[in-house]
Amino acid sequence: MIWKQLTLGAKILSSIATILALLAIIAGWSLFGVSRIVADGVEVTASNRLQGSVLQRELDHLNWVNSVSAFIHDPAVNEIGVELDHTRCGFGQWYYGDARAHAEELAPDLKPILTAVEEPHRLLHLSAWKISEVYQHANPELPGVLAAAVADHMAWSAKIAESIMLRERDISVEWNPKQCALGRFLSHGENRATLQTDPVLKHLLDAIEPQHVALHAAGRKARNALRQGNYKQAAKIYRQSVTPALEKTRNLLKQMRERAQSNLAGKVEAERIFTQETQPQLDLLKGHFHEMGSVIQKSLLSEQQMVTNAKQTRFVIILAVIAALIVGAFLAWLLSRAISQPVHEISTVLSASSTQISASATQQERVAAQQVTAVNEINVTLEELNASARQSSDQADASALSAQRALGRSHQGLTLVEESLEQMEEVMARMEAISAQITLLSERTGAIADISKLMVDFANETKMLAINASIEAVRAGEHGQGFTVLAMETRKLASESKQSAERISTLVNEIQQAASDAVSATDAGAQSIHGGMAVTRQTADAFQGVAESVQSAAESAQQISLNMRQQSTAIRQIVSAMSTIQVGAKESGDGISQVKTGLQNLNGIAQRLKRMV
């Protein structure tokens, strides 16, 4: 009942949503299964890697112990050749690094075993260190050989002494140092190699060889003396050469024997450490390694478990796909029924509607044709208006050009007037300077007049003094004649000075009068210039007014031209728009024709839908 109440879109949407939900469930379960398989694979890989690592560490320590054993028992091995530091071997680096934490994270039950394995592993490496400290390469036969060599040479020396005492000329002993027992032993390559592995024995070997040769050489000298019957010389050689050489040889052999016994004791101690410490710790370590392998197998996923989980995931995905196919087929059947019935109804309505729309389209086609005709008439009118606007714009441009020329000439006249005004101001300044100079000259001539008056007064006084001097000279008689002449000359000079002063005074008066006239003339010229400057300024103001008026006229003409251009542009835009409208009207007509054709096709489709449904 609810399915019938749903719209077609809701039915389609619900069907698609159901299918997508099923696909999402299948995809989610598949992703979960694949992720689980991948995780199982990672765990199995980690388990195998960890088991392989534990097995490899066990094998490494078995080889490690074999190397220690070879160092103890194989004379050809001169170095222990193993890692003595328990933190730097392969297992130590794994144990004290991040790998141990990762292993405990994978298998937590490994933690107590790994804790227990630390001490046996440390003691195992410690035992190897002890062995390397105490072990010395030793030949078990060497102490006996050296003791026998001492006894042989003691007997060899006693035989020589006995022969000397018995005065026997033939002594049956070995005189060649390389053929005696000690010489043969020291000449053997293997024995020499064993001795040379120990620095102390090598040093003693280098010392005893020449001493041993010297001992046999001293014995041969004693033998030669006996053969010659020189018994005293033979005894002397024995005391002074054979006995000291024998004593030195005995001491060196004793030192070699003690060193060989010490080395043998070190080897025995190394074997004891290997038996009592190395082997037991290795057994403990192997037991812990076996426990670790068992824990890893129990704690981590096996390959068989991984395969079982993968099969379960595959089975669930197959069931989900089958269920999704069944649900999808059922929804497809419901959806086909939900679509076929509405389509039949829609095709009927669509056929009737297409007939009505076709009639409306025919009417719209006629209206579009009328619009095209009207737009053509409007375009013709706008073209004529655009031509008039262009003509007005050209006339306004010509007026603006004439105004610009007049404005240029008015600016030129204004410039000339301003230059004239500047020149008048310069002349005015110069006349004012001349007037000031003339006034100063008049003042100076006044001062000269005052000086001339003083000179006149001085000449009058001098003349009076000359008269008084003449009177006194007359009174003096003969004694005053010379003074009389002086008084006359003085009076004459005073008269000339007075006349000169009077002439200067007259000239000064004339200069002052001329200066006064010049000042008056300068003032009159200045007033005239002031008047001319006022007229010139008025002329400049008039030119400025004319320039402003011309400028205003030019701006108005330019504004008119701009307005006409804008109007012409607007008209062109309108013409363009009308052309677009005309094209649109034509396209509308064409579109309506196409709509009619489409409606006819749609009507045919509706009829076919009816037949199909």
172 shares its domain with 235: yes
Q: Is residue 602 part of a domain?
A: no
Q: Is residue 99 part of a domain?
A: yes
Mean pLDDT of the chain: 72
127 shares its domain with 240: no
Look at 421 and 16; give whichever has higher pLDDT.
Answer: 16
Look at 18 and 387; give whichever has higher pLDDT.
Answer: 18
Closest listed residue to residue 429, CA positions, set 533, 517, 515: 533
298-303 mean pLDDT: 58
- CA–CA separation, 10 vs 22, rounded Å? 18
What are residue 85's phi and psi, to 5 degrees? Answer: -85, 120
**Rg value, the chain, Cα:** 75
Question: What pLDDT digit, counting tens, does each position of 515-536 carry?
Answer: 677 667 667 766 766 776 676 6
Number of residues that this document lists for the chain: 613
Here the tokens at position 319 are 């069931």
* Model pLDDT, residue 48: 63
Question: What pLDDT digit, counting tens, does each position of 166-204 carry?
Answer: 887 777 888 888 888 888 887 777 777 777 777 787 888
For 406-450, give the DSSP string. Answer: HHHHHHHHHHHHHHHHHHHHHHHHHHHHHHHHHHHHHHHHHHHHH
171 shares its domain with 315: no
* Model pLDDT, residue 263: 74
Q: Is residue 610 part of a domain?
A: no
533 shares its domain with 490: yes
With cut-offs at 50, 70 and 90, classify the pLDDT of residue 584.
low
- CA–CA separation, 33 vs 312, rounded Å? 9
Here the tokens at position 46 are 């980690």
543 shares its domain with 482: yes
562 shares its domain with 472: yes
Say if residues 459 and 494 touch (Cβ distance below 8 Å).
yes
Please report, for the domain that includes residue 388, its CATH number: 1.10.287.950
* Model pLDDT, residue 199: 79
511 shares its domain with 420: yes
490 shares its domain with 523: yes
204-208 mean pLDDT: 85
* Model pLDDT, residue 421: 66
189 shares its domain with 310: no
461 shares its domain with 527: yes
Closest listed residue to residue 122, CA positions, set 86, 77, 83, 169: 86
Q: Is residue 367 part of a domain?
A: no
139-151 mean pLDDT: 78
Say if residues 508 and 491 touch (Cβ distance below 8 Å).
no
427-454 mean pLDDT: 68
587-608 mean pLDDT: 62
| Site of tokens 């006034």 | 439
97 shares its domain with 191: no
Please report, for the domain that includes residue 258, its CATH number: 1.20.120
276-300 mean pLDDT: 80
105 shares its domain with 149: no
User: Which segment, 21-25, 334-338, 437-441, is predicted with the most confidence on average?
Assistant: 21-25
443-451 mean pLDDT: 67
Say if residues 605 and 349 touch (Cβ distance below 8 Å).
no
24-29 mean pLDDT: 75
Q: Is residue 597 part of a domain?
A: no
* Model pLDDT, residue 268: 79
pTM: 0.37
* Model pLDDT, residue 305: 60
With cut-offs at 50, 70 and 90, classify the pLDDT of residue 382.
low
Question: What pLDDT digit, counting tens, does each position of 253-286 carry?
Answer: 888 888 877 777 777 788 888 888 888 888 888 8
Look at 322 and 378; give whichever has higher pLDDT.
Answer: 322
Look at 86 and 445; give whichever has higher pLDDT.
Answer: 86
Q: In total, how many domains does the chain have?
A: 3
| Site of tokens 């000086």 | 451
| For the chain, percent of residues with pLDDT exceeding 90 | 0
- CA–CA separation, 400 vs 567, rounded Å? 18
* Model pLDDT, residue 459: 64
Say if residues 214 and 174 touch (Cβ distance below 8 Å).
no
587-609 mean pLDDT: 62
148-164 mean pLDDT: 85
Amino acid 119 reads E
Q: Is residue 596 part of a domain?
A: no
For the four alpha carbons of 4, 8, 12 and 18, in that order, the dihedral sign comes to negative
* 228-232, 433-437, 593-597: the lowest-pLDDT one: 593-597
Q: Is residue 344 part of a domain?
A: no
Q: Which domain holds residue 239?
A: 142-267
Closest listed residue to residue 448, CA positions, set 389, 528, 509, 514: 509
* Model pLDDT, residue 393: 63
Say if residues 571 and 389 touch (Cβ distance below 8 Å).
yes
Here the tokens at position 342 are 């509405």
Question: What pLDDT digit, counting tens, does each position of 27-74 carry?
Answer: 776 676 666 665 655 555 665 676 667 777 777 777 888 888 887 777
Q: Is the pLDDT of residue 362 over 70?
A: no
Q: Is residue 282 part of a domain?
A: no
- CA–CA separation, 4 vs 528, rounded Å? 119
Q: Is the pLDDT of residue 218 over 60?
A: yes
